[in-house]
């Protein structure tokens, strides 16, 4: 069952990615020959108008086949014959759709569970907040003369101060009280904290803001991971392949729908940002060629660009096989 859930999750993420390319191509008047979920042998196909829609055996991927994408075409609607801003929009739409999907999933999550607010639900025993006299129900309104409106602002104010003493103003009923609190570094949480658990509030506007902040946080986290991978601070042996992702999704699925939605959002951001890398065969590689054309004033011959993307595709397949091999070694 968990494998089925994993396949469904990954298929939906890929489908949204490809739908981004598809819908922008259609809206711009570009000809779309095929919209496919998965690679390999066709399990299902149906043609509507000029576009064939297919579902293939290997679900860890998908594509939109655009007329003239990797070769010359006399069709005026071929993507190769479209102005470079149109092509840029089509190639960028897939990754951006993944980021939009992540936001929507996180909005659902935070609208259901509520969003953290700078009001104390509970105080951790033995931590600085308890020692300073902060109690459940206290609302934190200011830290070091900086007004606090959100939980994210409170976290930032605490973490940026290090382990220096904080002057925290709290609202307790009709009273405004001032507390001196010295944060500590918690090894388990790997961050500086004062030991409070936030209360949660459910509202559309708060869920919207929190979903945006969490999407940005996921993006920063993934970009940092990619930079560490490129600079050698993270080994390629640590890359998770399809088998590892399926296992991870299955594990998270057992903990509940909300956690599965949040984890799916993380994978969606990962998929979007990975595809923006300026590497051949990825959307980022195609965007790079379009930008180069905009600067040079003329495009690279489609056949040459197609050959470069083909080599890039082979390298990606090799990386996929390597990552799958590492996944199997980790599991068994």
User: Under DSSP, is residue 199 helix (H, G, I), strand (E, B) or coil?
Assistant: strand
Cα–Cα distances in angstroms (integers) from residue 135 to residues 161, 186, 198, 200, 201, in the given order: 22, 20, 12, 16, 18
DSSP state of 277: S
Would residue 155 show up in a list of annotated catalytic residues for this protein? no
DSSP H helix total and E strand total for the chain? 9, 10
DSSP state of 254: T
> Which residue did the predictor score with more confidence, 154 or 2?
154
Q: What is the pLDDT of residue 332?
A: 66
CA quadruple 201, 249, 191, 227: dihedral positive or negative?
negative
Of 278, 238, 139, whose CA–CA distance to 198 is shortest? 139
Distance CA 216, CA 214 (A): 5
Question: Which residues fall within 8 angstroms of residue 327, CB to CB, at 6 or more apart?
Answer: 240, 241, 242, 243, 244, 247
Query: With bands split at pLDDT 50, 70 and 90, how would you rate the model's confidence at 291?
Result: very high
User: Percentage of the chain surpassing pLDDT 90?
Assistant: 57
Q: What is the pLDDT of residues 59-79, one digit of tens each?
A: 767 889 999 887 778 888 999
Query: With bands split at pLDDT 50, 70 and 90, how would you rate the model's confidence at 236?
Result: low
* pLDDT for residue 234 is more than 90: no
Question: Which residues fall within 8 angstroms of residue 284, CB to CB, at 6 or more apart?
Answer: 95, 275, 276, 277, 278
Distance CA 262, CA 270 (A): 13
Q: What is the pLDDT of residue 87?
A: 93
Which of 25-29, 72-76, 102-106, 221-225 shows the lowest mean pLDDT across its residues? Answer: 72-76
Q: What is the pLDDT of residue 155?
A: 92
Q: What is the pLDDT of residues 292-307, one digit of tens each?
A: 989 988 877 777 877 7
* pLDDT for residue 208 is more than 70: yes
* pLDDT for residue 101 is more than 90: yes
Q: What is the pLDDT of residues 115-147, one digit of tens each?
A: 999 999 999 999 999 999 999 999 999 999 999
**DSSP string of 11-75?**
HHHHHHHHHHHHHHHHHTT--EEEEEEEEEEEEEEEEETTEEEEEEEEEEEEEEEETTSSS----
Distance CA 9, CA 1 (A): 12
> Which residue did the predictor score with more confidence, 1 or 259?
259
Q: What pairs with residue 65 in β-bridges?
A: 34
Query: With bands split at pLDDT 50, 70 and 90, how would you rate the model's confidence at 99?
Result: very high
Q: What is the pLDDT of residue 179?
A: 95
Of 317, 278, 260, 293, whose CA–CA distance to 61 is shortest? 317
Distance CA 75, CA 27 (A): 17
Of the residues 18, 67, 69, 305, only one is catalytic, namely 18
Q: What's the whole-number mean pLDDT along residues 15-38?
A: 93
Domain segments of the chain as ranges: 2-112+214-331, 119-201
- Structurally, at CATH architecture level, domain 119-201 sits in Roll (2.30)
Query: With bands split at pLDDT 50, 70 and 90, how would you rate the model's confidence at 22?
Result: very high
* pLDDT for residue 213 is more than 80: yes
Average pLDDT, the chain: 89
Query: What predicted TM-score, i.e. pTM, was given to this entire model?
Result: 0.84
Which of 1-10, 104-113, 286-295 shows the lowest mean pLDDT across its residues? Answer: 1-10
């Amino acid at each position: 069952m968990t494998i089925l859930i994993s396949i469904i999750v990954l298929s939906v993420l890929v489908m949204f990615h490809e739908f981004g390319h598809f819908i922008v191509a259609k809206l711009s008047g570009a000809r779309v020959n095929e919209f496919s979920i998965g690679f390999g042998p066709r399990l299902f196909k149906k043609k509507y108008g000029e576009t064939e829609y297919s579902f293939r055996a290997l679900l860890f991927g998908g594509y939109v086949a655009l007329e003239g994408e990797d070769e010359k075409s006399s069709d005026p609607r071929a993507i190769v014959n479209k102005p470079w801003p149109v092509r840029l929009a089509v190639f960028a739409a897939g990754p951006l759709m993944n980021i939009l999907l992540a936001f929507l999933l996180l909005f659902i999550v935070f609208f259901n569970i509520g969003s953290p607010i700078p009001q104390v639900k509970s105080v951790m025993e033995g931590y600085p907040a308890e020692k300073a006299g902060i109690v459940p129900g206290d609302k934190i309104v200011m830290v070091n003369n900086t007004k606090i409106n959100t939980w994210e602002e409170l976290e930032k104010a605490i973490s940026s101060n290090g382990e220096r003493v904080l002057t925290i103003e709290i609202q307790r009923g009709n009273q405004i009280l001032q507390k001196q609190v010295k944060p500590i570094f918690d090894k388990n949480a790997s961050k500086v904290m004062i030991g409070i658990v936030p209360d949660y509030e459910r509202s559309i506007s708060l869920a919207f803001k929190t979903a945006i902040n969490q999407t940005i946080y996921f993006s920063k986290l993934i970009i940092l991971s990619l930079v560490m991978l490129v600079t050698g601070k993270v080994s390629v042996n640590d890359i998770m392949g399809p088998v590892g992702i399926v296992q991870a999704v299955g594990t998270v699925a057992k903990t509940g729908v909300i956690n599965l939605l949040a984890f799916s959002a993380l994978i969606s951001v990962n998929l979007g940002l990975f595809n923006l890398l300026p590497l051949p065969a990825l959307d980022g590689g195609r965007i790079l060629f379009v930008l180069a054309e905009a600067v040079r004033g003329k495009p690279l011959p489609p056949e040459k660009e197609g050959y470069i993307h083909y080599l890039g595709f082979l390298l990606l397949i090799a990386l996929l096989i390597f990552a799958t091999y590492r996944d199997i070694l980790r599991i068994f």
